[in-house]
Every structure is written in structure tokens, then in C-alpha cells.
Chain A
Amino acid sequence: MASPDTLKDHFRETRLFVSRAIIALIITVALVLVLLGRLVDLQIFKHASYKLLSDQNRIHIRSVPPTRGLIYDRNGTLLAQNLPGFSLDIVPEQVKDMDKTISELRKLIPISDDDIKDFKDRLKISQRHKPITLRSRLSDEEVARIAVNRYRFDGVDTVARLYRHYPLGKLGAHVLGYVGRINARELQHIDAANYEGTEYIGKTGIEKYYEDMLHGETGVEQVETNAQGRPIRVLDTTPPIPGLNLYLNVDINLQRVAEKAFGDNNGALVAIDPTDGSVQAMVSMPTFDPNLFVTGIDSKTYKALQDSPDQPLFNRALRGRYPPGSTIKPFIGLAGLEDGVIKPGTTTFCPGWYTLEGDDHKYRDWKKEGHGVVDLTKAIVESCDVYFYDLALTLGIDRLSQFLEPFGFNDLTGIDTSGELTGLIPSREWKRKARHKPWYPGETLITGIGQGFFLTTPLQLASATATLSSYGRQFRPRLVAATEDPATKEKVGLPAVPNVAVPVNNQANWQYIIRAMTKVVSSPHGTARRIGYGATYKIAGKTGTAQVFGIKQDEKYVAKDVAKRLRDHALFISFAPVDNPRIAVAVVVENGGHGSAAAPIARKVMDYYLHTVLGMKTDKGAS
């Protein structure tokens, strides 16, 4: 075995092996140097750009929505607040199969078809890396269920949020309005940067009008997120500035009294303090629960509200356009006096009807047998139509509409809430423009008793009544009294905003009208005499009826024969105390039949306001 030959081989082989081992070592070192070269390239020469990439990976800018301002009534009762809750959010770009994810999530928690439809609508318009809410207000159990299964769902997370909540529900809903999800149209109007992260925006009412103040300013957070996009820690923060709190002029207890006074009736009421235009109560009945809208109302409930014949979502106080009916008579009377067309003593004979020359059409008085000889006071107290037919004709439509214009019937009052509509004073010019027809004298007559084309909103009526009560002095109606910085608790009152005053020719004329209106309540013949009983202060008022249903000539309107929905609307305007007016009220009771149906509501509101809100004891001038 151990032949010299193999021994020689062995030696040679060892040498060969050692040389190969050295070559192996050299190659190894060379390859390690290649690796090192690559690493030096990555870690030294390209370090800066990879550092940037790494930071871009982990650092995300997240906006922090501000806390929305709270809304209080004049006494500090909370009307709109923010409650914590959880929503289920999805970041679209992190989800591979959206339909599958949603159907899997549905197995865990209830998600309605409406939620999904809503989600998909927003999916189309929002950016892929921004979370979209699939469901709001998860219960604790639902949050737990998602948390346990979260590992299965990339891009899905529960997010703590603040939800708007209206603790009093239906009460004052039309005053406050509500917030809802920002829609595509609103998205175009808002400051996108400031609304990063904000999901809700004021949709109606004060919530909409004061959106800028209530919203506040969005803060910014630099957060470190992991590969799944979950925030790990906050690196830097610019805190959001919370929205301002609002204090209303409205006393929510007065509002409650007013809403309750309507009973089952539909209608509207606006109560204004004539001394500064502050709105003390604003009612539109029926009302609705604004909480339904905050996180998106389901289509069934929404349809029910929309289709309800009672139209609960319709803000009658701001947008209901009613013929003022006889409530306009004091203003027409004042027009006659101020223009000098009539004097306080001027009388007219009322046979129960009125005709124009060369026309056999009978313009009826509400009292078939007539009022007999009527002066302006009696015409207002008993609401004689014939007197005002005659006066309107004498004045003519041009002077009539010109006189009414400064009271604001043709304009927006400029109240600090959204959605107000203007009324309409008919005029020759208006009819030519809108209807392309000439003005007929008969139309002047019915304008004189607040019928025909004449339309006013309850807010306009209340505002005009306030103006009348304070001899032409006018203020813009205001719902919000003050703002409050939530951090410093510093309150800033919003000043009264005077509107251009109605020019006064002779104060005695105004006094005359006011005295006549006082008799509407205090005189035994007054159309609102029933509400005068037991009042500890002096009330001035005027009833009115607005026709819903046109009756033919020679037919008599009998309320009980007409279906409730076709019955006349009852109106009432009033203010009190007469000598130092603190409250002016306009009431419309839809299908109330006669103006006397609206008057008691005004009385209840005035009683509560003067006695409880203002703390007025007794009034010497009580009748």
C-alpha cells in the first residue's frame, strides 16, 4: 500500500491542496470585499437618499381635527355637544379586495346597505390613502370584535372620534340645525387644508351659519407609522384650535313652552326682543330629531321624514311663505295715516261687501252682515275688510307697496342662520316682471287685507311687528348672543345690528295704530279679546287668516266642512308690554281656521318671557 509512488503523490497532492486553499481564501476575501463595496455604496454614498426613503416610509403627516364648538342657550343649557365614539374606517389603498373585506366585516358587526352605499359613494371621490368611514358609532362590543379580528384586515381600523350630539333632541332643532358628512358639493367650497380630518360640517341652521366659528382650526401631527399604516408614536404636533362655543339669545325653556303651545298643530312662531333684535324663540312645528343626521341618516327614515305631509324638516319660521292676511292691516292703516290719505277720524260704511266701479264682483267682508260705520280703530279691532279695501284703493298699489318695503317684507331679515327666504310685497313692477301681466285694481283690494300675491315669512312678520312696536326702529334678528373661547372661557358678546329705520312722519300715527292693536286684545269686540283676560301687562296684537282654499262667490266658508289640510291658516302678531315693548311675537298655525287659534300661543310665550325670563312682576297697565 505505502508504495513510494503513492507517497510521492501524497506530497504533491498536499501541495496542490494548500495552493487551492490559498486561492479559495483569496477568492473569499475578494468576494467579501465586493460585498463590502456594495455596502459602502448603500450605507455611505447613498445613505442620504435611503435615509429620506426610510423617513418617508415611517413618517406621516396626520391632521388633527379641532373640537367643534358647543352651543348653549342664553342660560348656559347645553344644546349641542360632542360625544366620544368609535367609527370603523378603511384606508382604500391598503385593501386588496374591498368587496371581500366588507363582506367579511359584515360577518362581525352589522353594516347596513345604506352604510355600504354611502361608503362606496365616498370611495369614488376621496383619495386612496385617506381613511373612509364604513360605519359610525360602534358599540363597545363591536369595537372589541373588530379589535380581536383586526389582524385579518389590513387597512381597517376603529378610530375614536367625537360625534355631534343634541341632548335635547327635537327641541329647538330648527334653531340649531344639524351637522352631517361633508358631501362632494361642500367639498368644493371649504378650505380643504382646514378640513383635513374633519368629517362633519354644519348642514342647516346655526350649525351651518356659524360653521367657521364652530369648526376651529385643524392641527397637524407628525406620526410614525408602521408598514400597516398604524400610528406608533407622535413625533411632532401643532395642536388644533378648537371652535368657539356659542351662546344663543334663545331661552330653551321659552322655546319649550312655545313648542308645547302648538299642541298637535303645525305652524311657526318667532319671538323677537324689539330693543335689540335678539330672537328669544323660533319655532317650526312639527320638528325632528337632528341626531338622526349626524352620522348619516338611513334612507328609509329620511324618506319617511321627506314624504311626511307634515314636512317636519321644513323650517316654516324662516322659509314658510304665508299670506299675512289681516295681520297686515295695522301696517296698511299706518300707511294711510302717514301718507295723509286718511285721518284718525275718517270713517267708511261697511255693508259686508265692497264692489269696484264698473264691476259687479263682490269683495266680501268676513262678517256677512257688515260692520256698519267704521273708523280705523274699529277697522283694526274688528278686522273690517271693507275699510281696508277702500283704504288700499285710495292709497293705490304703488304707495302701498312703497310704504311696506322699509319694514323688510320684500327682503331677507338677515337673521344669523341659514336658509331664510324672503316674502313678497306685490307691486305693479313685480307683476309685470314675474307674471308678464298688468296690475288689476281688484288685486289692490285683496293686497289691502293681506291676501292675493302677498307673502310673508313668520320671521318677517315678527321683525316687522317689532319695528312697529318701537316706532320704526329696526334691528337685524339675531339668534346668537355671544361667542366663548373654550380655552380661556372669554366671552365676547355679539353687538345688536341696527337696520335702516322706517321713516316716521308723525309719531302720533304710530301711537294711534298701537292703541288700536291694544284694543284688539282688550276691547270686548276685539278679535283677540280672549287672550287679554288675566294678563298682568298690556298686549297689542292683530289676528289674521290666510286662505288656503279659494271659495267661490256666494259660497260660505265653514271651517268644519273643510278638510283640516284645506282649512285657513291662523295668524297672530303681537307685542308687549305696549308702553315698553320687550317682546314681539308672530305666530302662524297652519290650518288653524281663525286667527284666534294662534293668539293663545303668543300669550303663553309672552307670559313666560315677561314673567319668567325677564322676571317682570306686574304691570300697572293691565286691563
Chain B
Amino acid sequence: MSLLDIRKDRRSSVRVDGLGERRSGLLQRLHIDAPLVLGLLILSAISLFVLYSASGQNMAVIERQVIRLCVGFTILLVLAQINPATLARWTPVIFIVGVVLLVAVLVFGEIGKGAQRWLDLGIARFQPSEVMKLGVPMMVAWYLNEKSLPPRLRSLLVAGLIILIPTLLIVKQPDLGTAILVGSAGVFVLLFAGIQWRIVALFFALGAAFAPVLWYFMHDYQRQRVLTFLNPEKDPLGAGYHIIQSKIAIGSGGLYGKGWLNGTQSQLNFLPERSTDFIFAAYSEEFGLIGIILLLTVYMFVITRGLLIAAQAQDTYSRLLAGSLVMTFFIYIFVNIGMVTGLLPVVGLPLPLVSYGGTSMVTLMAGFGILMSIHTHRKLLPR
């Protein structure tokens, strides 16, 4: 075989590589980021496995979750096609419409489970607060896009207002969980924008000082949750029941877990909300610490990939938004696991992409769609 032949072969092998390039080219043309989508698919698969067990082998639940996942991935795909520049142009409109809808909810909204969160659009019910999980970081990022960073005090005050208005409207519904997410999504943008640590420290100090004041603005059930968090054993059959049973489920799972479909806490109904907010406890019981490490690894993989996408973003709007979306995703994970393990008070946040439930999944997938759009719409330098 001559050297030339080898070169020929190499050329042909290049052609084979080219096939692979063409495939990534297909993904590129669909504006999909392969590692991110892989992580999301693994999480979806885990979700279906746990749900099958936690729902008591209810195939109807699985079917509905599959449909939701399909809807979620479709939304992801759609949003991935929208150029970040277009998104930036529409940001103020989306934000203002969002605020108007939040006001509308307070005025006309439907009351469900003691809170006004839903807006009946005739065809479907709709939570404007979900939109704001994206709308607020988008708006803050849009506002800071033109400013030089780190932001000056004036810009900070305006950004603070952008965050505070929708957050307070959501607190008023009342929906503390979403308010925390919306507020922190905005704050994350500021943090990524390079806000000075002194100012962060100042805010923390102020927050701590005003915490007792906050107590007076809390609803009874919210106060109850805080009290229950501080001492769940006080009312083991009432408010503390969730958290006690959840800790029993997790603790009894041990290192290896009780095995799929064999979690007595969840299978025998001791664990409340085991398909939704407390699904992590059901998972921990059946798959143990080993399973948890696997799940957290997948989550960390998604987060790392997300932060990498943010770091590679080419304009301020994109990278601030991307960073905020990834950290919001993390907040879901941290708050949910924190509350299920008794580290944090019970706030109604699902375990992202694993818990059974629709609205948050749509928003999360939309967020990942935006991330992929940011990554795949980069203007690559010509070779």
C-alpha cells in the first residue's frame, strides 16, 4: 500500500467523518445541542421509571407524562429556532404583557387551592407567573445589554424594579415558590452581570434585618410551613406528616435502596405527593444513595453544559439570560431536594423534569430551547 493510498484512505475517512459532521450538521440545522438534549432525555427516562413506581404502576399517569414530555420537547425545538436577537427584540413586549396578565390574574383570576394563579383563556387555563420565569431574566438581560458592566447603581435600581414588580405581584397571588424562582432568576442576571459583592453582601444584610418584618406579611399557611420546617415532630399527623414521612422514605432507602417498585413508604401511601413534589423521596427510597448520586450527576452534567453555553455566548443579552436560566434550573433542584430532606421549608417546587406535572415542565423546556438557540445561533468565525 503506497503512501498515496493511505492519503486516499484518509480522505475517504474524512468523508466518513463528514457523515458525522453532516449528522451534527443536522442537529445544528435543527438548532439542537446534543449533550444538553442527551441529559434531558436521561432525566425524562428516570422520570418515567420513578413515576411508574410512585403512581402505583398506573399506565395512565405514564401516558400523560409522556405526552407532556413530547409537548415540552416540541416547545424546546420551536424556541431553539428563534434567533436570540429576535427574542431580545420582543423581550420588552413579552415582559409588559406578562405584567399586565399578572395584574389581570389578581383581578379576574380563578381561585384554585386557595390562591389566584390561573387565567382562563377559554381553551386552556394558563399561569402568567410561569411566563415571568422567563420574562423577568429576559427583561433584565435586555436592559443591561446596552449598559456597560458591571452595572452602575442607577442601572441596578432600574433592574431591581424590573425584578420586584412581577415578583411582588406573584407573592400577592400568593405563590411563594414561583415568586422565589422569578425573583432569583432576575437576581441571577445581576450576579452574572458582575454586580459588586459589596452590594450583594449589603442586600443579604438588609434581607436578614427585614426577615422579622416579612413574617407579618406572610399568610397563615406560609407561617405554618416555616414553623413546621423548624419542628416537624410538633404535629406529626398534620403539617409535619409530609416531611417526617419523606425523611423516613429517604433514610430507609439506605445505600442501595429498596429496589424498584419495592419502596414501602411510597407503595403503601405513607409518602404524600409522591408523584409530584416529593418524588425525590420515592426515588431515594427505591434507588438509595447510589441512585441519588447518579441523578445528581446527570443534573450537574446539564448545569455544567448550560454554564459552558452561557460562557460561549457572544453577546451580553444571551450570556446573561443563559446563565440565569441554568441557575434557575439549579434552584429548582436545590430547593426541591432541600425541602424533601428537611433542610428547607416546604415550598411547592417540583423536581425539574422528574416530577409529574405540566406547567413547570413547559417553562423549563422553553428555557432549554432558548439555551440551545443561544448556542446554535452563534456567528462562527469563518475558517
Please give the residue numbers on chain A whose beta carbons come within 8 Å of chain B beta carbons, in ascending order.
6, 9, 13, 16-18, 20-21, 24-25, 28-29, 31-32, 34-36, 38-40, 42-44, 46-47, 49-51, 53-55, 57-58, 224-228, 232
Contact = CB atoms under 8 A, between A and B. Distances in A.
Contacts of B293: 36
Chain A binding surface SS class:
helix
Interface string B17-45: 00000000000000000000000000000
B252 interface: yes
Given A16-B150, A35-B337, A228-B269, A21 B311 contact: yes
A224 B264 contact: yes
Interface in B252-306: 252-255, 264-265, 267-270, 284, 288-289, 292-293, 296, 299-300, 303-304
Contacts of A55: 252, 264
B358 interface: no
B139 to A, nearest CB: 19
Given A20-B323, A25-B304, A227 B247 contact: no
Nearest to B330: A28
A47 B304 contact: no
Contacts of A13: 148-149, 194, 316
B289 A57 contact: no
Contacts of B338: 35, 38
A358 to B, nearest CB: 88
B245 to A, nearest CB: 8
A54 B316 CA distance: 51
B327 interface: yes
B268 A227 contact: yes
Contacts of A57: 245, 248, 264-265, 268, 270
A39 B289 contact: yes
15 contacts: A13-B149, A16-B150, A25-B307, A29-B300, A35-B334, A36-B296, A39-B289, A39-B337, A43-B254, A47-B251, A47-B254, A49-B251, A50-B252, A57-B248, A224-B264
B288 A43 contact: yes
A17 B249 contact: no
Contacts of A39: 250, 284, 289, 292, 337, 341
Contact of A16 (B149, B248, B253, B330): B149
B297 to A, nearest CB: 10
Contacts of A40: 289
Contact of B303 (A28, A49, A226, A232): A28
B192 interface: yes
Interface of B: 148-150, 191-194, 245, 247-255, 264-265, 267-270, 284, 288-289, 292-293, 296, 299-300, 303-304, 307, 310-311, 316, 319-320, 323, 326-327, 330, 334, 337-338, 341-343
A43 B251 contact: yes
A43 B150 contact: no
B250 A42 contact: yes
A11 to B, nearest CB: 12
Contacts of A24: 191-192, 307, 323, 326-327
A199 to B, nearest CB: 27
A129 to B, nearest CB: 13
Contacts of A228: 269
Nearest to A20: B192
Given A20-B191, A39-B292, A50 B334 contact: no
B251 A42 contact: yes
Contacts of B193: 17
Given A44-B255, A47-B254, 15 more contacts: A9-B149, A13-B316, A24-B323, A28-B303, A36-B293, A36-B296, A38-B343, A43-B250, A47-B252, A51-B251, A54-B252, A55-B252, A57-B265, A58-B264, A225-B268
